[in-house]
Amino acid sequence: EEEHGHYHRSRFGFYKDADGDGCYTREEVLIAEAIESVVNPRNCVIQSGKWFSPFDGETIGSLRNIRVEHLVSLEEAYRSGAWTWQPRERNAYLNDLTHAEALLAVSQESEIGRDGEDPGGWLPSNSTYLCDYLRSWVYIKTIYELSVDPGERESIAASALHC
């Protein structure tokens, strides 16, 4: 890890408004994944909403308790090869709205529990989501050509036996 420095969130740049509608990546995900939401379309301010957090199976009705997170966290992506990418490639990963699996609205509580871990160190507590989580994890790692360490591979293989 010494040759590529430590992970810093800033290495991925900023959220963008890719389609020019006034909504940045975070808002786009919150709007797309809302069970219900109230959005001011003039400035893309989400005033209220409800979201289903797949990590823990909770319905979240407070903007304070919802987070938009990368399925494969920025820290994990960095450790797994994104450190070799150009800044624009890291920023494209940060803003990936092309792959529905890449970004998720999840409860703050579940994200704090995950803390950037791979499946070797954390799995969702919502057992009905586990198989989708593992499939999506492998998919994102594959399309972005990110490495999988032995503990991660072992946990995916063992957990996938239930799928």
Contact 14, 91 (CB under 8 A): yes
Mean pLDDT for the chain?
Answer: 93
Give the DSSP letter string of 122-151: ---S-TTTHHHHHHHHHHHHHHTT----HH
pLDDT in tens, 134-160: 999 999 999 999 999 999 999 999 999
User: For residue 2, what pLDDT is reported?
Assistant: 43
pLDDT in tens, 34-60: 999 888 877 888 999 999 999 999 999
User: What is the distance between the terminal CA atoms of the chain, rounded to a whole angstrom?
Assistant: 34
Q: Which residues of 138-157 are buried (b: 16+ CB within 10 A; e: fewer)?
A: bebbeebebebeeebeebbe
Report the C-alpha gap between 100 and 61 in whole angstroms.
22
Report the C-alpha gap between 102 and 95 in whole angstroms.
9
Task: Give the residue among 124, 133, 138 at the shortest CA–CA distance from 163.
Answer: 133
pLDDT in tens, 74-102: 999 999 999 999 999 999 999 999 999 99
* Chain position carrying tokens 């799995």: 123
Report the C-alpha gap between 7 and 74 in whole angstroms.
9
Task: Give the residue among 129, 122, 137, 121 at the shortest CA–CA distance from 162.
Answer: 129
